[in-house]
Amino acid sequence: MNHDGGVPDIRVLIVDDHPVVRRGLAALLGTISGFEVVGEAPDGDSAVREAQVTRPDVVLMDVRMPGCDGVEATRRIRAVAPESAVLILTMHDDDATVFTAMQAGARGYLLKGAEQEEIEAALRAVVAGQAIFGPGIAVRLLDHFAHQPTAPTEPFPELSARERDILGLLAQGGRTAEIARTLHLSPKTVSNNLTSIFAKLEVTDRTGAVIRARENGLG
């Protein structure tokens, strides 16, 4: 359906293991102009399948479910349907759950019991690319990061220690055979690691990798 003169509805997939919660959320969204519920799922595995089939704009995701939980489902949905934002809606607000959900790729985190206006605003925000948290959670997240020890940040945390060593030698002008000798590796191992490095740095060749490395103080 299309309520606002050409603006497409925000398409929502509802994931919760309690049928009454799913029905309640679907009924709630049915009363708000601009939303369309395109599917429901009772667990994480079904959620991943539904997300692949329906390609929703946003997945409203519970955390604690039998089998594949909401955090793992979020991680898998972000892999198979990256255009779908995930908004966690749960009763659990412990820090570990919040942080693992965010690391898995959730765009936001709301507690069950949030007001209708809060849920509507959060859905619109995550679809627009913003991160959104319930008020109490936002305060705790800020507090958590304020008290993190400020360790010197290593460039390219996505690389393994070996990949970082290889990239450093590459940035110094090392060729595959020289890098292999220096690190006591086979040339094939170095080549395989370079392929992985290029993929992680999103570059296509050695030149691109060297430029990225030198921009970040390697070499």
| pLDDT grade for 102, boundaries at 50, 70 and 90 | confident
Residue (of 82, 19, 11, 72) closest to 47 by Cα position: 72
Last residue of a domain, one of 117, 146, 175: 146
Question: pLDDT tens digits, residue range 133-180?
Answer: 776 677 777 776 676 665 556 778 889 889 999 999 999 999 999 999
**Pair 134, 165 in one domain:** no
Considering the chain, what is the average pLDDT of its residues?
87
**pTM > 0.75: yes or no:** no
- Here the CATH number for the domain that contains residue 37 is 3.40.50.2300
Mean pLDDT, residues 86-110:
84
**Pair 63, 119 in one domain:** yes
Q: Is there a domain that residue 5 lies in?
A: no
| pLDDT grade for 195, boundaries at 50, 70 and 90 | very high
Q: Residue 152 has what pLDDT? A: 54
Q: Is there a domain that residue 190 lies in?
A: yes
**Pair 194, 122 in one domain:** no
Token code pair at residue 110? 């709301």
Token code pair at residue 134? 């319930």
Number of structural domains (the chain) is: 2
Which residue range(s) make up the domain with 137?
10-146
Q: Is there a domain that residue 3 lies in?
A: no
Share of the chain above pLDDT 70, in %: 88
Question: pLDDT tens digits, residue range 179-194?
Answer: 999 999 999 999 999 9
- Here the CATH number for the domain that contains residue 165 is 1.10.10.10
Q: Is the model more confident about 194 or about 92?
A: 194
Residue (of 178, 161, 160, 199) closest to 212 by Cα position: 199
